[in-house]
Structure 1
Amino acid sequence: MAEVQRGCGLAGYLLLLLLMLHGCKARIHKLTLENETRFAVDLNNFGFYANGTLDVNLTSLRLHSDPRMNYSTYPIGFTLSRSRVNGILTLTPEENEACPLSLKEPTNNEPLILFLINVDNLSVTMKAISGKDNVLTAEPKTDKTKGQRTAREAPEVKPETNAEKPGNKQAESQKEAAPVKEKTEEQPEAKVSGEAEKVDENKFYLEKTKEVILALGKVNNSYNFSFHMVIGSLAQGLYSLKFHNCNNRLPGVKLPYSFTVEVTEKNPGGYLSAPEIPLSRLYICMAGVFFVAAMVWVYTLLKHRYSVFKIHWLMSALAFTKSMSLVFHSINFHFINTKGHTIEGWAVMYYITHLLKGALLFITLALIGTGWAFVKYILSDKEKKIFMIVIPLQVLANVAYIIIESTEEGSSDYYLWKEILFLVDLICCGAILFPVVWSIRHLQEASSTDGKAAMNLEKLKLFRHYYVMIVCYIYFTRIIAILLKVTMPFQWQWCYEFLVEVSTLIFFVMTGYKFRPASNNPYLQLPQDEEDVEMDEVVTESGALEGISKVKKTSNGRERQKESTF
């Protein structure tokens, strides 16, 4: 176990160093890509309620000149699409074969908005393909020769009469009350009215306006533009914002580009995505439940102190660490909702407790599976190798999780670390099953070779129950809960986290109940077989001890005798 402790200590130092180098998860995103060659970049996914807002500010877009670039046939720009099935790709396989920016007609009733960047005439063409009732606010491109904005397919804003404008009503009432005014009093009113008309000219209702030509700025060979969008009540849902360079869809073409984009997403109640809004309250409530369970467990240990083993206290440490991790997780989501980002100190505390919780969970499960402390105090070589594999993998999995949390979704390493986390998690889950399987096989062999078959069968039954519990826990939290997540309505996806936490609580309670410190526990009713074998070997080594027998009491109070073999 000394190697294990040194490994955990090293992992702690590595984690602290990592936290000093990486930022924290936020909902105000800023992504900078240099010499990127991907044809599609997933900038972010967010669940919007009605009146939620999306602000996108593209700066420093630089396109490396290349004769192979054909922006008319293979455009560049953004797509904003709503998911059909809560997080699953919006585009169909047929649509994915072609560049999404080249779509002409809607293939479904889901909102899909395209922003096509044209660097030749410094414009951005916004195409609303089934735009629902979203409202876009952006600077339109003006025709310098005519002094008019370029918007197609009917004005997006109805011409409002003077009776429909609250400001003009007030002006008319004031005019009727005082038909003659001084010139100095009329100027501020005219200025305010002019500003209101300017704001109206930049607002487009996508339910009616299908195409708008927006302005594209240029500064020192870099391009920029921005837009603000309000999600309507008919268009709320999970949205995916992506950047596309369709030139790089061609075989063998990898044309580099660079840009910086700032994305701010917000719901009426804060910066959290719709499925994440209840998570802060969920985590703090579950933290209280785990804390109560931990206190009940400690009370049980103190009540049966003569039947307590070291692993029982390790189980209590796991429960308290889980509770603390949920508290800091709740605090993180609270600050994200109110400020758009986490507070670094609270994020560090959460990551530390998250790492400790993960390590303690797998160590405890593996130790229980081997029967350590209950039946034997020494791990076999095979079991030691399992620990030397599982613990570093758990450290790697937690480091991968931290990197994912602190990395923007659009960065090139995001999905790599996500795949590493998924793979390592599956390996760890499979590895902790090996000690249980070995213990079951050992008990099956012992039941057929010695005279304590009935007791061994009782323990075998307990191990089989424990094995089934672990398999069900892994299967539910890694597969079933995820399937439920992608089939739920977007505003109910927080139930995925609720199901995972409740299943973890049930698993903890059932494990504690089966291996509780009590005189009627099947583990504690059995004699220590390994100690019997060692004592027999010591007694028979010396000829001077011939005829001496060892007397040992069983759990029912009777004495049994083992005669020396000599």
Structure 2
Amino acid sequence: MAAAHRGAVAAGYLLLLLLTGCNARIHKLTLKNETRVAVDLNNFGFYANGTLEVNLVSLRIPEQLVNYSVHPVGFTLSRSRVNGVLSYTAEETETCPLTLTKFTNNEPLILFLIDIDNLSVNVKVMGDQDNVLIAKSKAEVSKGVRTARDTSALPAATIGGEKPSSSEDNAAQEPETKLNKQEVDSVVLEKTVQTAVEAAKVEETFQLEKTKQMSLSLDKVNGSYSFSFHMVFSLLAEGLYTLKFHYCQNRVPGVKKPYSLSVEVTEHNPDGYLSAAEIPLSRLYIGMAGVFFTAAMVWVYTLMKHRYSVFKIHWLMAALAFTKSVSLVFHSINYHFINTEGHPIEGWAVMYYITHLLKGALLFITLALIGTGWAFVKYILSDKEKKIFMIVIPLQVLANVAFIIIESTEEGSSEYYLWKEILFLVDLICCGAILFPVVWSIRHLQEASSTDGKAAMNLEKLKLFRHYYVMIVCYIYFTRIIAILLKVTMPFQWQWCYEFLVEVSTLIFFVLTGYKFRPASNNPYLQLPLDEEDVEMDEVVTESGALEGISKVKKTCNGREHQRESTL
């Protein structure tokens, strides 16, 4: 427990540092010296009238001459069939998606091809489209620039004032004309700049249709390229969309040219900043928090009712239920602020991560203690059982740190996938590690049932721990495998059911564990042999939790055998 507390404190300090750069559904990603071929910017489920705003703040690519028609640079926006599986992956797995010229699938796919030679972004539309694109048109900006250029080429006298009536007047006013020319040049320059700025603010609305192409404006400042666009999704275009950046030149074997990227992405649904699959989560978590709190209160009532049969681990189970409830409350609050503000409130987010860390540590500690039979069968842990705790607790701290980093890191950063793999691996190791104590307890009970003459009691305990082993295995399989498979097969707006199934399965697992190991006199781990001759020296008394730690010791005095109870 002390190790878990220290881990929680360490993780708390870490998450305070991480949350500083976290912007949730308002994403700001900056990459320097990046060499990845594709960068996943975000996945988001859009309802009708949902909006996507993308602002490429800065893109710096190598200055070497590259044929961008063969190795293009740009973005793809595609609708996923299921979560994590893009619509175009089945088309060309080894080819850069930006080079696709035909698309047999009807799923929407939009390509944004950056043409640095012509300072434009060519937009190619494939599949069935019913969206609206709002962006600076290349044609409109070019028209504004031409207008500014024509204005600057007008005669100075026409701009500066009336045309002189005669050559004599021109000769008389020559000094004044020279001065006017300087003023005119200044006015022309100002008007040119002003016209160009106004032209740059022009945004055109495009109704996207299949096989339609258009050209957007690309700005270049000090070798850095930038552009932006705004997308509005219609009713027929609802779905789970994935935005990616592609640098196809690095697909060539042996070529790894670095580039720098800074992009801002903002997604919004009509009801807030949450994705379609996340909108119900705030209500789900607060509802499940109430259910877990009710279950915890019922458990405490049971402990108070049978207080003479209560062990310390029973109170640890109560602490786990309350911690789980509090964690869900903070999780709900966190999602509420993300939906309304577009980013979490740091104070609430920190509270959620701390309670989430404590809940994870308490869960695995409790499961491991029950699995070893601590308090139910024995009051000491063997060396190999202690090693399990020395492994599981640090791994749980690492898993929670990985979870915090994933939640606080943009999906497009390279660290995101590294920590995601660490979290998956560490979680599987922890789940496997807590099965070992249960297996050891089952083996110990099997050996004891055939050697110490108390077969009936040990067989009842053996049945209890076998049921517990099956419960843990079913819980792990359902929450780690089956629920995930269900998630990727559900429609995008129903993927919140994955979280619902996980929480319900956790509740069922807690209730079954509490029922199996409830403090009651008729449970097999509280049964004692009736004959005193069967009680061996130093055998642990397990009649009630109030006598926890009491043993019976035989003592011979003046030839007579006496029994006394002594506290260990």
Asked if 1:341 is matched to 2:338, the reply is: no
Q: Given residue 494 of structure 2, which amino acid in structure 1 is its aligned partner?
A: W
- Change over 3 Å in CA distance of 1:526–1:75 after alignment to 2: farther
Q: Which residue of 2 aligns with 1:285?
A: 287
Q: Which residue of 2 aligns with 1:111?
A: 108
Residue 369 of structure 2: which of 360, 367, 370 is its match? 367
Query: Normalising by structure 2, what TM-score?
Result: 0.84
Structure 1 residue 259: deviation in Å?
1.4
Contact 1:142 1:148 in 2 (8 A): no
Asked if 1:315 is matched to 2:328, the reply is: no
SS of equivalent to 1:377: coil
Contact 2:125 2:210 in 1 (8 A): no
Structure 1 residue 531: deviation in Å?
8.7
CA separation in 2, counterparts of 1:514 and 1:529? 30
Q: Which residue of 1 aligns with 2:561?
A: 548
Contact 2:75 2:113 in 1 (8 A): yes
Structure 1 residue 521: deviation in Å?
1.1
- Runs of at least 5 residues in structure 2 that lack an aligned partner in the other structure: 147-198, 541-550
Contact 1:376 1:530 in 2 (8 A): no
Equivalent residue pairs, number: 499
- Runs of at least 5 residues in structure 1 that lack an aligned partner in the other structure: 150-196, 553-566
Asked if 1:401 is matched to 2:393, the reply is: no
1:23-38 mapped onto 2 (5 Å cutoff): 23=19, 24=22, 26-38=24-36
CA separation in 1, counterparts of 2:140 and 2:30? 32
Q: Which residue of 2 aligns with 1:534?
A: 538
- Change over 3 Å in CA distance of 1:430–1:268 after alignment to 2: same
Structure 1 residue 66: deviation in Å?
2.5
Q: Which residue of 2 aligns with 1:127?
A: 124
CA separation in 1, counterparts of 2:465 and 2:552? 31
Contact 1:77 1:101 in 2 (8 A): yes
Asked if 1:48 is matched to 2:46, the reply is: yes
Contact 1:25 1:405 in 2 (8 A): no
Q: Which residue of 2 aligns with 1:101?
A: 98
Q: Given residue 117 of structure 2, which amino acid in structure 1 is its aligned partner?
A: D
- Change over 3 Å in CA distance of 1:496–1:535 after alignment to 2: closer
CA separation in 1, counterparts of 2:256 and 2:388? 44
- Change over 3 Å in CA distance of 1:145–1:45 after alignment to 2: closer
Contact 1:131 1:206 in 2 (8 A): no
Q: Which residue of 2 aligns with 1:427?
A: 429
Identity, % of aligned positions = 76
* RMSD (Å), alpha carbons: 2.5
- Change over 3 Å in CA distance of 1:551–1:55 after alignment to 2: same
Q: Which residue of 2 aligns with 1:352?
A: 354
Structure 1 residue 86: deviation in Å?
3.0
* CA deviation profile, 1:16-68 (whole Å, cap 9, x unmatched): 2212211246100000000100000000000001110000000121112234x
* CA deviation profile, 1:103-122 (whole Å, cap 9, x unmatched): 01112010000000011110
CA separation in 1, counterparts of 2:208 and 2:228? 17
Q: Which residue of 1 aligns with 2:16?
A: 20
Q: Which residue of 2 aligns with 1:11?
A: 7
Asked if 1:450 is matched to 2:444, the reply is: no
Q: Given residue 367 of structure 2, which amino acid in structure 1 is its aligned partner?
A: L
Asked if 1:137 is matched to 2:141, the reply is: no
* CA deviation profile, 1:212-245 (whole Å, cap 9, x unmatched): 1100001111010000000111111000000000
CA separation in 1, counterparts of 2:285 and 2:360? 17
Residue 227 of structure 2: which of 225, 228, 234 is its match? 225
SS of equivalent to 1:548: strand
SS of equivalent to 1:83: strand
Contact 2:73 2:114 in 1 (8 A): yes
Q: Which residue of 2 aligns with 1:474?
A: 476
Q: Which residue of 1 aligns with 2:548?
A: none
Query: Normalising by structure 1, what TM-score?
Result: 0.84
Q: Which residue of 1 aligns with 2:192?
A: none
Name which one, 1 or 2, has greater alpha-carbon Rg.
2
Asked if 1:295 is matched to 2:297, the reply is: yes
Q: Given residue 340 of structure 1, which amino acid in structure 2 is its aligned partner?
A: G
* CA deviation profile, 1:73-103 (whole Å, cap 9, x unmatched): 0000000000012332322344121000000
Q: Given residue 96 of structure 2, which amino acid in structure 1 is its aligned partner?
A: C
